[in-house]
Every structure is written in structure tokens, then in C-alpha cells.
Amino acid sequence: MKHKLKLLLTLIISLFLVMSCTQKAAPNNPNEPDPNDTTAPAVPSGLLVLGGDQKLEVFWEANEETDLASYILSWTEVDTSSGKSITVDKTENSTEITNLENDKTYSVVISAKDAAGNESEKSEAQLATTFTPDTTAPTILSFSPTGTKVDRNADIVITFSEPIDIGSLVLSISPDRNLDLQNWSADKTILTLDPGFARSTLYTLSIEASDPTGNPLAGSKQFSFTTEAPPELPRIIATSPENGTKEIDVRSNISVTFSKPMNRESVEESIIFEPLFKCTFSWSSGDQLLTCDPNDDLLGQTEYTIIIPETAEDQEGNALTETEPISFQTGLSPDTTAPRIVSISPEDGAIGIRRYLEGGNQITPITISFSEAMNKADTQAAFDIHDTSIPLGQFSWNAAGTQMTFTPSSPFAHGRIVLWAISNVAKDLAGNNLISQSSLPTNPYNFRISRQKTVQLPVIAAEDGYVAQDSSLSRFGPVIRVGWNQDEALTYRGFLSFDLSDLPTDILKIQSATLYLRQKDVAYGYAYGSLYSDAIQGIYFQHIDFGTSLSAGAFYEDPINLDCDAITDNFLDKFFCESGSDATHVISSDDEAEWKSSSVLYQLRDDYLNRTERNNRSQYKLRFLKDTGSDVNAQFVYYTEFISGNGTVLNSPYKPYIDVTYEYP
């Protein structure tokens, strides 16, 4: 046992001696470096270099060696490769390198040094650039919106000249709105705001901010704009059928006219029909007119209501206003009854139709009356006249649309047989074709225009002559004497009688009548002396009725009073009839041996109207307006020769006559 303990003790002592020989000898003075220390400190880590104004800011992590003496910081300008270094106390882990030139790039390294003078390897180089400090104030490059009529949903967009320190931004708006200041562009130069605005409002924004270097915002910092006024809201301005209408055709389309172009989809999805029916929609007039074409006929005798609510919008998104329901009531089932002709004028087969209507101014038209209102265009197209000589004309209709009138631009010719027809192309408003039995050229309607004729009414020689103031008379002589014989102190008046028996009894209208007399000569050359001068207008005639035989009493026969109401058919004709006087019925005003003439239209009409009472005669008295004159010589007028028993007279070509033109069936 003792032997083993001794051996163990020997081993422990030997081990202690070995360890003592291998350890670094500790200095005798702990404040002095160990001259035997050759181990370098660790390379400093975490080197960070920041460029600044004529300086670099350097940061690193502190070493942990107990005998650390200092750090050695070295830098080199990259462009020139010139470098410097400084020693930093071991207690520091950051420092500044100052007095550098701006806008230069430097390479910086760091090493550690212990008390024995051992220096570590240099760290990995870090680059940093010095810079001139930013002293430029930021400005606002643009601001929107501006002006007036700004959309109330518009964004506010502010663009700055450089990045802004978000924390420095102060923005106020009047009137107040909630503003979200977080919507920035990535580079912090554009701020977008979406506050939503009231209409017709002036907004003012004030802005304060600075850039990251602290330069405050410069330039314009207050902006204003005015939002748009409320828009014109769409409304319904017309409907077909109109609200409250009754008896609407069950096949009718329905249309709605809006005040503004509408959003088609919003209207079509919103519209409500009660009772429900389906229709095909179409739009026109720039999306302001909506037409609904029902897929099936509407129900008869049913009240329908159309509702277009506020969910219908115009193309600007404005809701429909004044959304009152529209109601109408349908009529009976569809009209399938064919229209027919009720009457025509002139009547079919009529003869003697006047060219002008009663009154004389309006051309006689063709008038057709139907059993119901007609489609005007189709009905006019169905009308035809079988006569190429008929001029163009015009159509007119009564207010109910049941009577069509065709008036030629000029009257039909006398004696013309007018053939016309209206085919079943004519339709009523429901589209039913006309029941028509007429056609061209095989089965037309027809009427004949009145005919016209001119005749000469002969003088009745046995009843003509002249009567003297002393009641002596001359009949059957070759001449009619009119005037005054101073030697005999007698006045003479002539008389004419014409036969109306050749005129037909169905005359429609006497259009003209002219009395013709042949003036033979003037006795002694004085007949148109003082009598003509005193009488002013020469010889005139008076319309009288002296019977079937000329007698002395005819000298004093008074003129007939014409019945102008009965013998005229229009105002102008009546005016001329009533305005006639003895002074206007001049037959001769000179002494030329020639035919003399004057109109006896109203006198002959009156005689024809009273032909039974007047024995089919038209009779006249010839005289001067004044029976005596101042001339001392006898004054006679020898007029035309008359038919008499004398052969020479019978063969005379100068017998008096009346030329008559009349209209008859």
C-alpha cells in the first residue's frame, strides 16, 4: 500500500511540473505587456460606415480580449488611393472620420491591437461616400382637381417635387372632410386622397410638410376648387298610350320618352307591367325613346299599369325622378271588320254634274265616305281616275278620318264622263282591307260633267218696232227709230223681243248672254249731237215685259226688277246683278254703222226663270237717257233692220239676236 501511494504522489508531481513548463510566464507587473505575448487579437467584426457631410461615421462591435490596447481605423480615397489611419481607444466602438472632401468614395478597414503590440488582420473593407447636405425645400408640382364643376367623386392628387417625410405632413380642408393620409406612392412623392365631396361646394386645402432632411415645404400651399352642381335628373316626358287613355287597341306598342339618354339595362330590368306581359324592347332617338312591342296581344278591356322605379338610371348614373305609374285601358278585341264605302259624291251614274260647286269658286270634288276611320296613305294610294286628261289634285280628310275628298287642280271638262275607282288596297286603321266593288277599267264608278252649248236667240220681228210719244207705232218696218224729232216734237223709243222657246227646260246655269244690234245710220247726221252730249253715255236699253204684241203703252213700260237672289249663286255674281243701272246698260255711244253689243246676262236669266209668265220672251226698250236735246235739228237714230214681210228684210244678215251660252246636263 505505501508503495502505491508513493507512486501516485510521484505521478502528480511530475504532471504539475510539465504543466508549469508549457504555460506563458505571467509578468511580474500586471500593467506591463508580457514580452513573451505574440498572439494577435481577433479581427473586429460588424464594421458599418455611413457617409456624411465631409465625414464618415464608423461603427463596429467591440473585441473581448482583456489585453486589448486600441483599434486602428484606416481609410483610402477610392479615386486617388491616398489613405490615412487613426488609432481609436479600446473603449470605443464608433468614431467619425472628419475633414473629408464631399462627394468622394472611401474604402474603410479596421484592425485591433493588444498591449503586447500584436495587431489583428484588417477587416473586410466597407465603402461609403461623403455628400453635400440637401438644403432644397420641397414644393408641390401639381394639384388636382382645380376649377369648377369638379366631379364630387374625384380624387385629390398632390405631387411633390421630392420625397416627403410622412410624419411631417399636416393637411387641413374646409369644409371639413375625413382624410386618409396613408395612400402614398412608393417614392413618397405622390399623395392620393379620396374624401368624397358635397355638390356645389367650394373646398380649400392647406398643406404643410418637410423632406427627410427637414427642409420645409415652399411655394403654393393652399388650393381651392368647386364641385359640380346637382345633375339634371332624368324623367318621363311622354308615353304612348298616354296616362289615363281608354279604348287602346290590344295590338298597340307601348313607348316611353325620357328627358335624357338612359342606361338601357337599368330601365329594362326595372320596368314593371301590371298585369304582367312580355315584350321586345327597342331604343331610338339617342336612347331617349323606349318602345315595347308586346309578344302577344294585350288583354281586352283591361287596365294596365306601367311602373318605372328609381332604379332606372340615365347614362350618367342619375336615378329616374317623378316615377308616377302610367295607366291605360285596352278596348275590345282586335278590329277584324273590313271597312266599306257608305256613300260617294257625285253619285254613281250621275249626269249633269257642275264643274264648280254652288257658289262658283270651288272645283267640284270626288268625295268618299267610309264606315270607319281609314289609313290615309293606303286609301289615297288605292284611288284612281281612268282619264289621263284629268289634272293632278289634292286629297283632304275630315277630322274623324272617315271621309276622303279628291279635288282636281282644275275642273273636269264639260261633257266629260269621269270614270274612277278605289281598290281594296285601301285599309282601315287596323289594317283591314276595304270591301270594294269598283275597279278600273271594267267596273268603275262614273258620272258625267254638265255639257255646254251656245245658241243664238232670234228676234221676233212681228213684235219689234218703235213707238212715238204721241202713241203712234211702227211694226214690221225695216228699222227701229230711237231719238227726238224737233220738228214734230216727238220722242221715239225702240223695242226688241227675242224668242226663248229654243232653250231647253233643264238648263243648269246660263253662263253668258250678249245682245247684238246692227247700227244702220244716223238720220241727218245729228242723232249723236246734243242728245248724246246731254245723255252722256248715248243709247241704252231697259229690260221690260210688253207682252206678245207691241202696243203704244210700251213707251211708258217700267223696267223689270231683277230677282238677284234667285238668278245668282255666289256673292260676286249677286253684287254685279244688283249694281246694274240704266246708265250701265249702254248699247251704243257713237254713230258708226256697225254691230253694237252689250251683256244681258242677268236679264236673260230672269226671263228664263219666269219664262212661263213672260211667254218665253226676253224684251227690251231702247232710248236715250234724256228724251230731248238742245240741237235745233231733228234727231233720229236708225237701228238694225228687222225681219218683216219685206223680202229684202227677210234676207238681211243684220237681224238682232242674243248670243247665249248655257250649261245643261
Query: For 169-182, what is each residue's pLDDT tens digit?
Result: 999 999 998 888 88
The amino acid occupying position 85 is S
Element (H, E) at 367: strand 366-370
With beta carbons less than 8 A apart as the criterion, state whether 426 and 436 touch.
yes
pLDDT tens digit sequence for 617-662: 999 999 877 666 544 444 444 444 333 323 345 556 778 899 999 9
- In angstroms, rounded to a whole number, what is the distance separating the alpha carbons of residues 526 and 635? 6
Torsion sign across C-alpha atoms 419, 425, 430, 435 = positive
- Percent of the chain past pLDDT 90, that is, above it, reads 62
For residue 357, tell me if it sits in a domain.
Answer: yes
For residue 121, tell me if it sits in a domain.
Answer: yes
- Do 422 and 465 belong together in one domain? no
| Boundary (domain end) residue, out of 193, 227, 261 | 227
- Quick one: pLDDT at residue 576? 87
For residue 1, tell me if it sits in a domain.
Answer: no
For residue 232, tell me if it sits in a domain.
Answer: no
- Do 322 and 345 belong together in one domain? no
Q: How far is CA 387 from CA 162, 170, 404, 415, 578, in A?
A: 94, 96, 20, 13, 41
- Do 217 and 265 belong together in one domain? no
Q: How far is CA 34 from CA 38, 63, 297, in A?
A: 9, 19, 120
For residue 452, pLDDT over 70 is answered with yes
- In angstroms, rounded to a whole number, what is the distance separating the alpha carbons of residues 640 and 481? 9
Q: Provide the Cα torsion 150, 156, 158, 164; round to 10°.
A: 160
Residues in the chain: 665
Domain, as residue range, for 259 = 237-330
Report the candidate in 229, 226, 205 with the shortest Cα–Cα distance to residue 146: 226
For residue 34, tell me if it sits in a domain.
Answer: no
For the whole model, what pTM was predicted?
Answer: 0.49
- Quick one: pLDDT at residue 481? 82
- Percent of the chain past pLDDT 70, that is, above it, reads 86
| Boundary (domain end) residue, out of 204, 227, 250 | 227
- Do 631 and 497 belong together in one domain? yes
- Do 644 and 556 belong together in one domain? yes
For residue 530, tell me if it sits in a domain.
Answer: yes
∠ CA 504-505-508, rounded to 5°: 90
- In angstroms, rounded to a whole number, what is the distance separating the alpha carbons of residues 352 and 346? 10
pLDDT tens digit sequence for 467-524: 998 999 988 777 788 877 766 777 889 899 999 999 999 999 999 999 998 887 665 4
- Quick one: pLDDT at residue 79? 87
Can you point out the beta strands (E) in 402-475? Answer: 403-408, 417-422, 445-449, 451-458, 465-468, 473-475
For residue 571, pLDDT over 90 is answered with no
- In angstroms, rounded to a whole number, what is the distance separating the alpha carbons of residues 265 and 283? 11
- Do 187 and 266 belong together in one domain? no
Q: What is the CATH number of the domain that holds 93?
A: 2.60.40.10
Structural domain count, the chain: 5
- In angstroms, rounded to a whole number, what is the distance separating the alpha carbons of residues 105 and 108? 10
For residue 463, tell me if it sits in a domain.
Answer: yes
pLDDT tens digit sequence for 335-354: 788 999 999 999 999 999 99
- Do 435 and 462 belong together in one domain? no
| Boundary (domain end) residue, out of 227, 254, 275 | 227
The torsion angles phi and psi of 405, rounded to 5 degrees, stand at -125, 130
- Do 533 and 461 belong together in one domain? yes
- Do 205 and 252 belong together in one domain? no
pLDDT tens digit sequence for 188-235: 999 999 888 998 999 999 999 999 989 999 999 999 999 988 888 999
pLDDT tens digit sequence for 100-149: 989 999 999 999 999 999 999 999 999 999 988 888 999 999 999 999 99
For residue 9, tell me if it sits in a domain.
Answer: no
Q: What is the CATH number of the domain that holds 147?
A: 2.60.40.1220
- In angstroms, rounded to a whole number, what is the distance separating the alpha carbons of residues 129 and 107? 9
- Do 481 and 545 belong together in one domain? yes
- Do 459 and 445 belong together in one domain? no
Q: How far is CA 503 from CA 416, 443, 547, 607, 657, in A?
A: 22, 36, 19, 12, 14
Q: What would the grid cell of residue 201 be?
A: 361646394
Q: What is the CATH number of the domain that holds 362?
A: 2.60.40.3710
- Quick one: pLDDT at residue 6? 52
- Quick one: pLDDT at residue 561? 92
pLDDT-derived band at 614, boundaries 50, 70, 90: very high
Q: How far is CA 487 from CA 628, 633, 635, in A?
A: 12, 8, 9
- Do 439 and 460 belong together in one domain? no
